[in-house]
A and B are shown apart, each in its own frame.
Chain A
Amino acid sequence: KNEVEQSPQNLTAQEGEFITINCSYSVGISALHWLQQHPGGGIVSLFMLSSGKKKHGRLIATINIQEKHSSLHITASHPRDSAVYICAASQGAQKLVFGQGTRLTINP
Chain B
Amino acid sequence: NAGVMQNPRHLVRRRGQEARLRCSPMKGHSHVYWYRQLPEEGLKFMVYLQKENIIDESGMPKERFSAEFPKEGPSILRIQQVVRGDSAAYFCASSPRVWAGSYNEQFFGPGTRLTVL
Interface residues, chain A, CB within 8 Å of chain B? 30-31, 33, 35, 41-45, 48, 50, 86, 88, 90, 92-101
Contact = CB atoms under 8 A, between A and B. Distances in A.
B65 to A, nearest CB: 16
B103 A98 contact: no
Interface size class of B (residues with CB under 8 A): 20 to 34
16 contacts: A42-B109, A42-B111, A43-B111, A45-B107, A45-B108, A86-B43, A92-B56, A94-B31, A94-B33, A94-B104, A95-B45, A95-B48, A95-B58, A96-B33, A98-B35, A98-B42
Given A92-B56, A94-B104, A95-B33, 18 more contacts: A41-B110, A42-B109, A44-B108, A45-B105, A45-B106, A45-B107, A48-B103, A86-B42, A93-B55, A93-B56, A94-B33, A94-B95, A94-B98, A95-B48, A98-B35, A98-B44, A100-B41, A101-B42
A84 to B, nearest CB: 9
A96 B56 CA distance: 12
Identify the interface centre among A33, A45, A95: most chain B CB within 10 Å of its CB: A95
Contacts, number: 61
A92 B56 CA distance: 10
Contacts of A30: 102-103
A58 B42 CA distance: 25
B93 to A, nearest CB: 8
Nearest to A40: B113
Interface string B39-51: 0011111001000
B69 interface: no
Interface in B47-80: 48, 55-56, 58-59
B103 to A, nearest CB: 4
A45 B35 CA distance: 15
Contacts of B91: 42-43
Nearest to B44: A98
Nearest to B4: A42
